Chains A and B, each alone.
Chain A
């Protein structure tokens, strides 16, 4: 069952977040942007974890909602003056959430393999909407005006040099909020019911749960959160393209979850960082980047049954013999 990091794990995660936040003190703009990318991917994979790890639904169409969230910036005001992020972000949530509601309402009539294929099909349909119709502004993508940090006419202008650091802070803040929000959701009766569906959907139905509506709620929420991630991507890059909606992005997010750990809420975050880092290192040492990535993923899947999130520091365990393993990765029950 999906677990949320216990006390030790939360401290480690908090330290990691602080370490990322301190990067602007010494890292180059290139590396700040690279880490920003990892943070946005982490949001995206985390939103997918709500489906895969929590509810037990494996989707291959999740990138569509990521892309819709990114395109929301373009759709809100492609060529006009830039708009406040306080308008574009809710718009992205609304658009991707509605798209997910529509797709989920139909796709959730199927299960397992058929669900995978149905989500893939709907994802590709949305891909072609932005690829081939005037709505998307071109098959090669389109530059967007960055949303601004403004409220009631007051604007915080960010200089070009400061931008990588500021975007990293903002993205990190959104990721932390999303993680804490989902951790909180898992403590509600809604969250418990979703975990129950992953454990045994048939039994949940015979206990009296209308599982379809619960799953549709999860699917819509996951889509809206993917839209947040997509919006932050567009805001960071100032460029959106149909490729953001493509199915291999969905597969990549699934790989991040697999890499980080299916059984832990923070697994996708570790997986996203590992994935981006791995790509960067592989690029340095060889031209056969994909081959290295594939081999590492294979090794992780074979060697770490619970992904990166399953790694425990042995000395810590010995230092606290009274603590049972359960306290390290507590079940979310109080």
Chain B
């Protein structure tokens, strides 16, 4: 198989005595939507934070396109094409929706001297921002202040911000939580679409969504990978049903 866009090998993160992520192996490929599921406290968000450089691994390796990136700061991940959304909404609240997304797209602009251009200048990423907003369905709200958006709209904005920078790897931490059913369905379709030319990791609680869109599923329990495989195999796994799906059923 070709080199994964992102690969974790024995990735481990400890917080004092707690091992939040324990010896996780995971490969994200372009063209694949990789869902990570598991009960609360399984270490899914910590894993996202490790893969995006928010946290440093305590042990193990992290590869981006085959290169070691475990000691990179978070801003380098973003510049190298790793986009992420946050589980707890994390946007620039006093700024407009358009501005939030434009800044996300601007972050990858180099050289820095272009920064002295006005935001309407030719190198400004206005179009990329508009395109990302239209794609997630916020095209009509670009002028609104981000702090005034509803919960579901903020989730959409998070995805647009992750998209705007043109990433190759997308790490989405419960992007659909709190969204209305219609929007949720629309965005699930968008995720599927994005997986065609991105390596997408999706953390999601809604099993219907997961099994509808995922190409590959990893089940985490207590920081460890319990099972990894195609959705059908996961659905059939007795261990998974026991540890996780059983509670829901």
Contact = CB atoms under 8 A, between A and B. Distances in A.
B78 A334 contact: no
A203 B92 contact: yes
B65 interface: no
Interface string A285-302: 000000000000000000
Given A192-B99, A203-B90, A333-B96, A208 B79 contact: yes
What's the dominant secondary structure at chain A's contact region? helix
Interface in B42-77: 52-54, 73-77
Interface residues of A, number: 26
B104 A207 contact: yes
Contact of B75 (A190, A196, A199, A206): A206
Interface stretch (B33-41, B113-121, B214-222): B113-121
A188 B117 contact: yes
A207 B96 contact: no
Contacts of A209: 75, 103, 107
Name which of A184, A205, A207 has the most chain B CB atoms within 10 A of its CB: A207
B119 A333 contact: yes
A111 interface: no
B29 interface: no
Interface residues of B, number: 40
Contact of B115 (A188, A206, A211, A333): A188
A252 interface: no
Contacts, number: 92
B165 A207 contact: yes
Contact of A202 (B53, B90, B93): B90
Contact of B119 (A1, A188, A202, A207): A188
A168 to B, nearest CB: 32
A248 interface: no
Contacts of B102: 192
B92 A206 contact: no
B153 interface: no
Interface of B: 52-54, 73-79, 84, 86, 90-96, 98-99, 102-104, 106-109, 112, 114-121, 124, 161, 165
Given A206-B74, A331-B96, 9 more contacts: A1-B94, A187-B119, A188-B116, A189-B118, A193-B115, A206-B84, A208-B76, A209-B103, A334-B119
